[in-house]
Chain A
Amino acid sequence: EGQLLESGGGLVQPGGSLRLSCAASGFTFDTYAMTWVRQAPGKGLEWVSTISGSGATTYYADSVKGRFTVSRDNSKNTLFLQLIGLRVEDTALYYCAKGGYSYDLWGQGTLVTVSS
């Protein structure tokens, strides 16, 4: 069981920044790796980033490496994704998901639109 609720999306100009949040409930947050997956409008799923349960280890897709930073606050059961240097091609629905391998719980997503 459990629930994930993303927030923080919005419309931003190219080069801009956003911070996405994902509030988790209903499971022991700090025992699970967490993942961000995005989906551009009308397109398929793209793995973006994963962070270990402790937050000590992170992984990124090449397409976002150096621009996105994943972090977590286990005291607040919250996952974050800091997005900087946003590009038009980063426009997507961003999902947070529970797990570091397969993902058995997903939020409903938060929409990031990058446009001038």
Chain B
Amino acid sequence: DIQMTQSPSTLSASVGDRVIITCRASQSISSWLAWYQQKPGKAPKLLIHKASGLESGVPSRFSGSGSGTEFSLTINSLQPDDFAIYYCQHYKSYPYTFGQGTKLEIK
């Protein structure tokens, strides 16, 4: 099985900051990676598909990059609404797995 490891587990930042969350796959997954945002008590929301494809309706301050085993989610100019938990997920081969999550909290 392919393991996904996110870092950091927790990230403290301020409104207006630029933050980067990384996700590493235990083997190459090409660009078969998605990023999700989850707020407390809510279902996850798809932000990025195929490593860098911005989902419709997602603000352009979110961007994804990477291929192979190293990926990143960048959020430019953090907004109050962005404080949440972020998950990466590969879909290279079954079983699809998620990273353990990165909690983005207000500094």
Contacts and interface: CB of A to CB of B under 8 A. Distances in A.
B87 A44 contact: yes
A106 B42 CA distance: 10
> Chain A at the B interface: mostly helix, strand, loop or mixed?
loop
A23 to B, nearest CB: 15
Q: Find the residue from B43, B49, B87 having the highest chain A CB count within 10 A.
A: B43
A46 B98 contact: yes
B96 A47 contact: yes
Interface of A: 37, 44-47, 50, 59, 61-62, 95, 101-104, 106-109
Interface of B: 32, 34, 36, 38, 42-46, 49-50, 55, 87, 89, 91, 94-101
Nearest to B38: A45
Contacts of A45: 36, 38, 44, 87, 89, 98, 101
A103 B101 CA distance: 17
A101 B43 contact: no
Nearest to B42: A108
- In the A-B complex, the 3 residue pairs with the smallest Cβ-Cβ separation, listed nearest first, are A102-B34, A106-B43, A101-B91
Contacts of A101: 32, 34, 49, 91, 96
Given A104-B55, A106-B45, A108-B43, A44 B91 contact: no
